[in-house]
Amino acid sequence: MTTITIEREERRNAINPEVVEGISAALGAAEDDQAVAAVILTGSGERAFCAGGDLGGMTGDSRVDDHFLRSNVGDLFEAMRTSRLPIVARVNGHALAGGFGLMLACDLVVAVDDAEMGTPEINLGLWPFMITAVVQRDLPRKVALELMLTGRRMSAEEAAGWGFVNRVVPRVDLDAAVAELTASITSKSPLIAALGKRSFYRAEDMSHRDALEYLAGMLTVCLESEDTVEGVTAFLQKRSPEWKGR
């Protein structure tokens, strides 16, 4: 298990180039470590998971540099979605603007009950362009557009009602809830979890027919794995499986 923490409590863990690079590097290291079966992403302190982009800190030496610094956020989202590792957002406070997108880029979300979420960019004469790709995949269309067009904040409980937050707990129970969820994930075959996660995201952008054909192929790959044989054998023998990751 690896925990990645945004250490900018004084800035409500706002995203800047160093944060993007830090998360990317830590995720890459976890990806390469076969002993790691899941990642937890969180922010420092209790005020915010991530309050969005640092409005004064996303600048480079030129406008071209600025463009590519912003594009790096999209590269991070893509890396999170294509990672073999299940990523759990430990939402310790507000998740707003780019921080909302960062939360949604995680695979599962556990949030404190006083967290607020949303896209307030419209209030500043901006639009959440960079996070639209993840928002429109995780939220119902009209809910997403309402948040984007009004800038209103949504409670964690309402977010859970719409299905893009998995658990809402009192702050005192946050770590226990995250630990319980990640323990359940890491008790499964890491190979099958990786195959399943990657195929889930890849298939969502395919046509229905293409998705069915692709998923049929992935099922064949799965059935060829030692872990599938072990899982079925253990079930029939009424014992716990011993995963080999191959």
Report the chain's C-alpha Rg in angstroms.
19
Residue carrying structure tokens 């463009």:
67
Tell me the average pLDDT across 156-177. 98
63-112 per-position pLDDT tens digit: 766 776 778 999 999 999 999 999 999 999 999 999 999 999 999 999 99
| Global confidence as pTM | 0.93
Phi, psi of 5 (to 5 degrees): -120, 130
Domains belonging to the chain, first-starting first, are 2-186 (3.90.226.10), 190-236 (1.10.12)
- Cβ proximity of 4 and 42 under 8 Å: yes
Q: Is pLDDT of 14 > 60?
A: yes
3-class SS string, the chain = CEEEEECCHHHCCCECHHHHHHHHHHHHHHHHCCCCCCEEEEECCCCEEECCECCCCCCCCCHHHHHHHHHHHHHHHHHHHHCCCCEEEEECCEEECHHHHHHHHCCEEEEECCCEEECHHHHHCCCCCCCHHHHHHHCCHHHHHHHHHHCCEEEHHHHHHHCCCCEEECHHHHHHHHHHHHHHHHCCCHHHHHHHHHHHHHHHCCCHHHHHHHHHHHHHHHHCCHHHHHHHHHHHCCCCCCCCCC
Least confident interval from 52-56, 159-163, 195-199, 229-233:
52-56
Tell me the average pLDDT across 30-36. 95
Tell me the average pLDDT across 187-213. 97
